[in-house]
Structure 1
Amino acid sequence: MSSLRSEKTIVDIAEELELSVSTVSRALNDHPNISAKTKERVKKMARKLGYRPNAMAAGLRNNKSKTIGLIVPRISMFFPATISTIIQNKLQEFGYNLIICQSNDSLEQEIELANTLYSARVDGLAVSATLYTTDFSHFDIFKQQNTPIVFFDRTPKDYNVKVIKGDDFLGGYKATEHLVEKGCKDIVHISGPLTCNLYTERLAGYKEALQRHKLPYKKHRVFFHELTRENAWQTAEKIFAQKPYPDGIFATNDTTAITILEYCRKHGIKVPEECKIVGYSNDPRTEIITPSITSVDQFPATMGERIVAALMDLIQARHPAAYRHSQEIVPIQLVERESSGGTGWEIPDPVSNGKTAVATGATAKAVKKKK
């Protein structure tokens, strides 16, 4: 009875067919020197016996696991969820599997996940860091072993790895400038923690747009916290606690923008007539809510494809470390909707825009040159 329950191996297949173990192994791996008839016999017997190839053992032999590790803050959020799907689908085209992990924005958990994926011998790693990751040394073990790492979206400032990120400065600039062009003169900015690159850059874009249009930067009109629904509601209570109310709000994620809209609707503040709102990420909810919300599209599908392309390039390179000092910028696009007084929207081709964004370099410098 115990022998029937034991895991079958290529030895069992070889004994059943009276073939050598090496012939069975080659047949299962479609070796060109094995006839089609023998391959079919071997594979038929493998199915009959319930044989399962040991991918881990094969990986140890050839030092390749054919798996990629992915660490994201929260899989429930629109942006990382979309990117995760694209990465998995694209990796399958190259014969790789994906291990998806979420840090829940906990640095301690991110460290633990990095160690776990290292122990799993992943062939490469893609990471969007937590809000509070400022020391990235827990990823050094991958660099020491020349295991490719690609950081995306939430990325390190001074850590020698491949970085693929959105144009957050330009996104912050365009969101703010759009509100100014719609007539807003008192614009609130709701930001995430400044330990994260996304929010430092979007804040810089907000400030630059105000300065370019000769509007003052008011510290009491800027709020910093994790961008949850609960925090957004509390911030809305502070914003509208007394008049004069702001005439524009730039929220750096769509959950916050939607929550602000709900607060305004509950308290009789008309959007966009009395207060205009712009969010960030172009979450599908922004299009179906009433009024629909103007947002900044980050093109997550484009970013996911570029992450996979970068990983494959690094894996195939003889000296991966030589390719780890680069930064690639994925374009953004303001999607104008009703919450800021718009009536329609149009998204240009993100691929062609992406090439332009990468070629022109730092958008912060480009914006300042217009002044």
Structure 2
Amino acid sequence: MSKRTEKTIVDIAEELKLSVSTVSRALNDNPNISARTKDKVKKMARKLGYRPNALAAGLRNNKSKTIGLIVPRISMFFPAAISTIVQNKLQEHGYNLIICQSNDSYEQEITLVNTLYSARVDGLVVSTTLYTTDFSHFDVFKDNNIPLIFFDRVPKDYNVKVIKGDDYVGGYTATTHLIEKGCKDIVHISGPLSCNLYVERVSGYKNALQEFKLPFKKSRVFYHELTRDNAWQTCEKIFAQTPYPDGIFASNDTTAITIMEYCRKINVRVPEDLKIVGYSNDPRTEIVTPPVTSVDQYPVMMGERIVAALMELIHTAPSNVPRYSQEIIPIQLIARESSAGTAKSSGKKK
């Protein structure tokens, strides 16, 4: 099969007996071209299957009007919510968005960074993998003064713009809430400590226990990727022996919901026997039974701040851009039935 020949503005001009410059201006809605001519040109463009060459235009003006976004998994609530907000806000500024997912693979993240650089994006927004500790593959953006923003999962010592949630306060608030509800034996299920989110949430958990003079037990903290399967396996470990905990702080809502499912299986009542707090305020937390207490990360606020910061970087001379700045987005605990009432002893196996 022969390769399809792309139609150009020259073909449109020949069909309509117009100059190439007139066709070009009509396609770009130049105010000096009449509405009648614009309409004719656009109809012919559709008829011929003309596609504007955005890459060629970008090479001419050194702007692609495209931003790259790399997230760990688009299936997760928080990065999905951020992606939607960022895309909608960028469109208001005349920019398109290329969304990529690393699938929490460091090697894939490197490939995506290089691909988006080659695609001449005007800026890059990234939430890193769980295992990214070397950020040198992002140097190509820094060294060429292309706006680069990290959000949510961010580097600790890499001089760029960072927008992140208040994860220490989130961990502290979730744990304090369980303690104030009467819990004295609180398990924490965390993600890997290679990621800033979980380092900070664990720190908040520890400090809340310390403040209320409750012991920190290494055996009551579990570290792994926060998937349903991993959460189920952890539940099997937690409930394999007595005494059962009376509270669990889970670092994501998938884990919190899985814990409730497991508790139903073994006849542990939530919240009477066990109180649960999740993280992210995933919409599922409101519709499961009982509804799950969770920490809201304000994705709308974060998405809006990402785009505002990106526009500022794009429109500011590189010499005037600070090498490093950090914005902290607040959190809020949304209390629901999974942590209601006062904790009871759950020392006996059900």
Provide TM-score, normalisation by structure 1. Answer: 0.88
Mark the runs of 5 or more structure 1 residues left unpaired by the alignment. 344-371
Q: Which amino acid aligns with 1:158?
A: D
**SS of structure 2 residue aligned to 1:101:** strand
Deviation (angstroms), 1:4: 12
Aligned residue for 1:277? 276
Q: Distance in 1 between matches of 2:72 and 2:341?
A: 32
Q: Distance in 1 between matches of 2:113 and 2:2?
A: 39
Q: Distance in 2 between matches of 1:47 and 1:106?
A: 41
Deviation (angstroms), 1:40: 3.8
Q: Which moved more, 1:224-233 or 1:191-200?
A: 224-233
Aligned residue for 1:297? 296
1:244 counterpart = 2:243: yes
Mapping of residues 34-53 of structure 1, within 5 Å: 34-53=33-52
In structure 2, the CA distance between the partners of 1:213 and 1:61, relative to structure 1 (3 Å rule), is same
Q: Distance in 2 between matches of 1:320 and 1:102?
A: 31
Aligned residue for 1:334? 333
Deviation (angstroms), 1:34: 3.5
Q: Distance in 2 between matches of 1:294 and 1:5?
A: 56
1:142 counterpart = 2:141: yes
Provide TM-score, normalisation by structure 2. Answer: 0.93
Q: Distance in 2 between matches of 1:273 and 1:284?
A: 23
Q: Per-residue CA shift, 1:137-156, capped at 9, x if unaligned?
A: 10110111111111110000
Q: Distance in 2 between matches of 1:11 and 1:4?
A: 19
Q: Distance in 2 between matches of 1:53 and 1:181?
A: 61
Contact 1:134 1:156 in 2 (8 A): yes
Aligned residue for 2:205? 206
Q: Distance in 2 between matches of 1:72 and 1:190?
A: 22
Deviation (angstroms), 1:47: 3.4
Contact 1:73 1:104 in 2 (8 A): yes
Aligned residue for 2:346? none
Deviation (angstroms), 1:52: 2.0
Aligned residue for 1:10? 9
1:155 counterpart = 2:186: no
Contact 2:231 2:258 in 1 (8 A): yes
Aligned residue for 1:106? 105
Q: Distance in 2 between matches of 1:342 and 1:93?
A: 46
Aligned residue for 1:63? 62
Deviation (angstroms), 1:11: 1.6
Deviation (angstroms), 1:46: 2.8
In structure 2, the CA distance between the partners of 1:188 and 1:39, relative to structure 1 (3 Å rule), is same
Mapping of residues 356-371 of structure 1, within 5 Å: none
**SS of structure 2 residue aligned to 1:132:** coil
Q: Which moved more, 1:195-204 or 1:311-320?
A: 311-320
Contact 1:148 1:320 in 2 (8 A): no
Contact 1:282 1:298 in 2 (8 A): yes
Contact 1:314 1:320 in 2 (8 A): no
Mapping of residues 116-127 of structure 1, within 5 Å: 116-127=115-126
Q: Which amino acid aligns with 2:188?
A: H
Aligned residue for 2:27? 28
Aligned residue for 1:77? 76
In structure 2, the CA distance between the partners of 1:274 and 1:58, relative to structure 1 (3 Å rule), is same
Deviation (angstroms), 1:189: 0.8
Deviation (angstroms), 1:14: 2.5
Deviation (angstroms), 1:291: 1.2
Q: Distance in 1 between matches of 2:22 and 2:88?
A: 33
Contact 1:314 1:323 in 2 (8 A): no
Q: Distance in 2 between matches of 1:3 and 1:278?
A: 60
Figure out how many residues of one structure are paired with residues of the other and give that number: 342
Q: Distance in 2 between matches of 1:89 and 1:226?
A: 30
Contact 2:70 2:126 in 1 (8 A): yes
User: Percent identical across equivalent pairs?
Assistant: 80
Q: Which amino acid aligns with 1:203?
A: V
Q: Distance in 1 between matches of 2:282 and 2:288?
A: 11
Contact 1:146 1:321 in 2 (8 A): no
Q: Per-residue CA shift, 1:330-353, capped at 9, x if unaligned?
A: 11110101111169xxxxxxxxxx
Deviation (angstroms), 1:35: 4.1
Mapping of residues 182-331 of structure 1, within 5 Å: 182-319=181-318, 322-331=321-330
